[in-house]
Structure 1
Amino acid sequence: MHSVTKGLLAGAAGTLALDLITYGDMLIRGRSASRLPAQVAERLADRTGAELGDGEAEDNRAQAAGALLGYVTGLGVGAAYGLLLHGRAPLPTWVGGPLLGAAAMAGSDVPATALEVTDPTSWEPTSWVFDAVPHLVYGLTTASVYRALH
């Protein structure tokens, strides 16, 4: 199996793990889904001139586009990991996991910050934790699955 394919599969597993942690947190704490991905999608649509529609359809499309951007990030980070490791042994999970988690977190937070949808410098420590933990789970899962496929 090619290293990029392994990375895609590992990234898919990591993305599933991130979603499970996120939805579990929503269930336990009774919180609503984050509007941040939808806001990023709306801002991107505005900047590119793409039409999302009006009213409820616009909101629904923005939510869907935001979720899809998350999948692109998760799969993309996994694929990039596979590409970078092509022909090399995988990193130990305890090294690769946090690196992959940080890359995925940057893949979602940097565009949101650049588009002025959020300002991480204003986040409370708990907000950092609730963003970092699911991304760390993503990274550890992605690194573990990639290693298992290798």
Structure 2
Amino acid sequence: MSKPQETRSRVAPWIIAAAACWLSVMQGCSSSDGVAPLDVHPVKGSVKLNDGKPLTSGVVVFVLPEKGLQFSAPVDAEGAFVLKSPYGDGAPEGSYKIRIERDPSKGDAQVKGGRKAAPLAPYPAKYGDETTSGLTAVVKPTDNALEPFVLAK
């Protein structure tokens, strides 16, 4: 009867070693928050209206069409933004198309026909779509301090 116990003592360390190896491989495949790592580079900039005043609220969205990625940042009261994402502070290297989204929590809603409508943006609607905005940026493998985006009328 000592035979089954002897086999069990030989197998148990092998199973434990295999499980430990599998866990270490799985930990190397993803980050702790479940997002695969990307090499990102710091990106900051600002948004100005046609009259030179800063856009005081909104969201800047960087779209990398060929990879299907988007990175966004809120615009502060001075018009400045800093990209942050689950991948880290910044965005991967590449050529981005940019859109400006309104901050729905800011501004008073317009009342039309008894219904609330979104407040009017202080810039043309074309900037709300990266395919029509004409805004672009190139993120390089360095700190990226971009020229201001100017939202012309």
- Report the TM-score, using the length of structure 2 for normalisation: 0.31
Higher helix share: 1
Q: Which structure ranks higher in relative contact order (CA pairs < 8 Å, sequence separation ≥ 6)?
A: 1
Larger Rg over CA atoms: 2
Structure number with the higher strand fraction is 2
